[in-house]
């Protein structure tokens, strides 16, 4: 028996070396960790249970048949992150460049099936040359098997992707379906077709970094949610992200103890809104002051900066935050901001995370580019996401809530549960100047004094929270310093909220 045990150990040791020392050194030379080192950093000590370590590729029709490696380019299994069960796969670039073979895809599908069966998150670490070229269509089939599982898992268990090397061709579509994507700076890229194909087809000269590096996706395309300095940073970030999420759609997010008092008054908020309504301020500062331990975990902080999304906690309970950012584009809702927030709201709603909305929005972004780009359908996505959400929804209007954007930003009319405003709130169809120019077009022509007079009277009458409060569209007007306490009480009151939408196969969100 001892001999057999020794043989087993030796076999596993060999498997753990992946494609061998030379390739591991090459991986390190690129500034990347190996698949197993990444798992060591991600999972609690001694918690990893590896499956399918002995699986090899089944391709016997090509020149790779003599070249087999145990594990076949991906390490799979389950383990724990901060004591909570997760399923994982980590592509091993040292074996056929982490490319996806039929067997390798089967390994990934096996753990995906278990993750959904037991209701635990799945984390994929991507570092792969794409389809295993020697296997042809068998490999393509493997991708589709994974996509199908990604789709069925969507909204059922959290799916998180780390991109830590190449991720090209159709391979990008598995991470794209997952809930969050973190990319590592300089070593990762994602594109449907690489620079060479781009050059041939469109005659554009572009580097891999410009086409699909982390900066591109975190700031321009919006494909990536996070940009991290290196593999270790990406893993730390994903562990923190997990701490806000429940393990599946039937659970609530974990509650983390805090010593931050729920009735903490934040006096500085009373003077945070500038006297001049056109002066910008940083909404992020408000969020930080309100959340437990001043800790705000921002998502997509480099993309569509006119809206802020992210997670935080109030009296230990996770909340998803959506907030207009007056510092960028005056907080206007444009195509990118609408899509960014809509997807986040749908994630929170799927996973029982209450949504806090902070409103300071002058309206939807005007302009030819926006209209031609489909601001109508894209803005509708945000409206749709808020309107269908059944989780607790708490809204705070800090300043402007104009026009259609007032309706969209989690208003009472879209089943906002608790809608509050600061005394600085201005809830109206539009700003004073625009309104006067339309209503008194002839009277004010060339008469600045008259214009100012009428604008002032419009401001006094309409640009306040009390007209909306009179109609019951706000539940209360509060002092800014009380905001944290009011939110905490509202969350407590809404703890057992139940609300069901009518049965349907699925809605038809304007995609």
454 CB contacts (<8 Å, ≥6 apart)?
Answer: 436, 439, 440, 443, 444
- Residues numbered 9 to 28 that lie near ligand HXC (CB under 6 A) are 23
- Per DSSP, helices labelled H in 280-356 are 283-290, 335-350
Tokens coding 15 = 């498997």
Q: How far is the CB of 169 from ligand HXC (least distance, A)?
A: 3
- State yes or no: residue 150 binds ligand HXC (CB under 6 A): no
Q: How far is the CB of 390 from ligand HXC (least distance, A)?
A: 35
- State yes or no: residue 198 binds ligand HXC (CB under 6 A): no
Kindly tell me which of 138 and 392 has the beta carbon lying closer to ligand HXC. Answer: 138
- State yes or no: residue 33 binds ligand HXC (CB under 6 A): no
- Pairing label, strands 307-314, 317-324: antiparallel
Tokens coding 322 = 């959506």
- State yes or no: residue 130 binds ligand HXC (CB under 6 A): yes
Distance CA 371, CA 356 (A): 29
Element (H, E) at 307: strand 307-314
CA 38, 168, 228: angle at the middle one, nearest 5? Answer: 40
Q: Which stretch binds ligand HXC (CB under 6 A): 132-140, 270-278, 374-382, 435-443?
A: 132-140
Tokens coding 51 = 């499956």
99, 178, 214, 411: which one contacts ligand HXC (CB under 6 A)?
A: 99
- State yes or no: residue 244 binds ligand HXC (CB under 6 A): no
- State yes or no: residue 136 binds ligand HXC (CB under 6 A): no
Kindly tell me which of 132 and 149 has the beta carbon lying closer to ligand HXC. Answer: 132
CA distances (Å), 150 to each of 48, 122, 182, 465, in order? Answer: 22, 10, 17, 44
Q: How far is the CB of 25 from ligand HXC (least distance, A)?
A: 12
Kindly tell me which of 100 and 335 has the beta carbon lying closer to ligand HXC. Answer: 100
- State yes or no: residue 331 binds ligand HXC (CB under 6 A): no
Q: Of 71, 169, 212, 431, which residue is the catalytic one?
A: 169
CA quadruple 226, 231, 236, 237: dihedral, nearest 10: 0
227 in Cβ contact with 183 (< 8 Å): yes
- State yes or no: residue 133 binds ligand HXC (CB under 6 A): yes
Q: Which stretch binds ligand HXC (CB under 6 A): 93-101, 209-217, 274-282, 452-460?
A: 93-101
Q: How far is the CB of 72 from ligand HXC (least distance, A)?
A: 11
71, 79, 97, 379: which one contacts ligand HXC (CB under 6 A)?
A: 97
Distance CA 47, CA 29 (A): 29
- Name the 3-class secondary structure at 190: strand
Q: Of 155, 170, 222, 373, which residue is the catalytic one?
A: 170
Q: Of 171, 405, 421, 428, which residue is the catalytic one?
A: 405
Kindly tell me which of 171 and 224 has the beta carbon lying closer to ligand HXC. Answer: 171
Tokens coding 37 = 């080192």
Kindly tell me which of 18 and 465 has the beta carbon lying closer to ligand HXC. Answer: 18
Q: How far is the CB of 150 from ligand HXC (least distance, A)?
A: 12
- CA-nearest of 103, 105, 166 to 130 is 166
- CA atoms lying within 13 Å on the CB side of residue 228: 23
Distance CA 143, CA 72 (A): 15
Residue with tokens 């060999």: 14
Kindly tell me which of 121 and 169 has the beta carbon lying closer to ligand HXC. Answer: 169
Binding mask 167-186 for ligand HXC (x = CB under 6 A): -xxxx---------------
Instruction: Count interface residues toward ligand HXC (CB under 6 A).
Output: 16
Distance CA 145, CA 126 (A): 17
170 part of the active site: yes
Residue with tokens 């290196």: 230
Q: How far is the CB of 60 from ligand HXC (least distance, A)?
A: 16
Q: How far is the CB of 98 from ligand HXC (least distance, A)?
A: 7
Q: Which stretch binds ligand HXC (CB under 6 A): 79-87, 92-100, 280-288, 472-480?
A: 92-100
Distance CA 140, CA 138 (A): 5
- CA-nearest of 18, 170, 208, 4 to 94 is 18
255 CB contacts (<8 Å, ≥6 apart)?
Answer: 316, 317, 318
- Per DSSP, helices labelled H in 291-430 are 335-350, 368-372, 375-388, 403-408
313 in Cβ contact with 296 (< 8 Å): no
Residue with tokens 């990762």: 188
- State yes or no: residue 254 binds ligand HXC (CB under 6 A): no
404 part of the active site: yes
- State yes or no: residue 158 binds ligand HXC (CB under 6 A): no
Tokens coding 73 = 């380019």
Q: Which stretch binds ligand HXC (CB under 6 A): 163-171, 222-230, 262-270, 319-327?
A: 163-171
- State yes or no: residue 223 binds ligand HXC (CB under 6 A): no
Q: How far is the CB of 27 from ligand HXC (least distance, A)?
A: 9
Kindly tell me which of 127 and 475 has the beta carbon lying closer to ligand HXC. Answer: 127
Binding mask 50-89 for ligand HXC (x = CB under 6 A): ----------------------------------------
146 in Cβ contact with 174 (< 8 Å): yes
Contacts with ligand HXC, residue ranges (CB under 6 A): 23, 96-97, 99, 129-133, 140, 143, 166, 168-171
Residues serving a catalytic function are: 169-170, 404-405
């Amino acid at each position: 028996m001892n001999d057999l045990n020794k043989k087993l150990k030796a076999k596993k040791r060999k498997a753990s070396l992946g494609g061998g020392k030379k390739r591991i050194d090459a991986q390190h030379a690129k500034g990347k960790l190996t698949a197993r080192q990444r798992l060591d950093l991600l999972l609690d000590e001694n918690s990893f249970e590896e499956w399918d370590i002995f699986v090899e590729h089944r391709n016997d029709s090509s020149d790779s048949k003599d070249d087999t490696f145990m594990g076949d380019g991906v390490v799979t299994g389950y383990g724990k992150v901060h004591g909570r069960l997760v399923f994982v796969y980590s592509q091993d670039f040292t074996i056929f460049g982490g490319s996806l073979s039929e067997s390798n895809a089967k390994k990934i599908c096996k753990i995906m099936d278990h993750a959904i069966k037991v209701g635990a998150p799945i984390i994929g670490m991507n570092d792969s040359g794409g389809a295993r070229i020697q296997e042809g269509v068998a490999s393509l089939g493997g991708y589709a098997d994974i996509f199908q599982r990604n789709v069925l898992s969507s909204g059922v268990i959290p799916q998180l992707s780390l991109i830590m090397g190449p991720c090209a061709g159709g391979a990008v579509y598995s991470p794209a379906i997952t809930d969050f994507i973190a990319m590592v700076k300089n070593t990762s890229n994602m594109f449907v077709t690489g620079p060479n194909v781009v050059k041939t087809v469109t005659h554009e000269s572009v580097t891999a970094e410009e086409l699909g590096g982390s900066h591109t996706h975190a700031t321009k395309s919006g494909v990536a949610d996070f940009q991290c300095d290196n593999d270790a940073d990406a893993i730390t970030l994903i562990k923190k992200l997990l701490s806000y999420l429940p393990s599946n759609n039937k659970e609530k997010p974990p509650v983390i103890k805090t010593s931050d008092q729920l009735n903490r008054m934040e006096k500085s908020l009373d003077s945070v809104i500038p006297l001049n309504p056109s002066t910008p301020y940083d909404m992020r500062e408000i969020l930080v002051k309100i959340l437990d331990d001043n800790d705000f975990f921002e998502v997509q902080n480099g993309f569509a900066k006119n809206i802020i999304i992210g997670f935080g906690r109030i009296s230990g309970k996770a909340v998803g935050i959506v907030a207009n950012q007056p510092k960028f584009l005056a907080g206007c809702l444009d195509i990118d901001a609408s899509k960014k927030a809509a997807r986040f709201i749908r994630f929170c709603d799927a996973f029982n995370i209450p949504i806090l909305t902070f409103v300071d929005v002058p309206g939807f972004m005007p302009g030819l580019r926006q209209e031609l780009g489909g601001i109508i359908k894209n803005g509708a996505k945000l409206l749709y996401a808020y309107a269908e959400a059944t989780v607790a929804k708490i809204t705070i209007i800090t300043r402007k809530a104009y026009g259609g954007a007032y309706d969209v930003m989690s208003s009472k009319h879209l089943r906002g549960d608790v809608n509050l405003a600061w005394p600085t709130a201005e809830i109206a169809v539009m700003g004073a100047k625009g309104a006067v120019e339309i209503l008194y077009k002839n009277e004010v022509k060339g008469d600045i004094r008259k214009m100012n007079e009428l604008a002032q009277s419009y401001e006094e009458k309409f640009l306040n929270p009390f007209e909306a409060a009179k109609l019951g569209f706000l539940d209360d007007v509060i002092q800014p310093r009380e905001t944290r306490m009011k939110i905490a009480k509202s969350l407590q009151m809404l703890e057992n909220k139940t609300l069901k939408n009518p049965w349907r196969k699925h809605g038809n969100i304007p995609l």
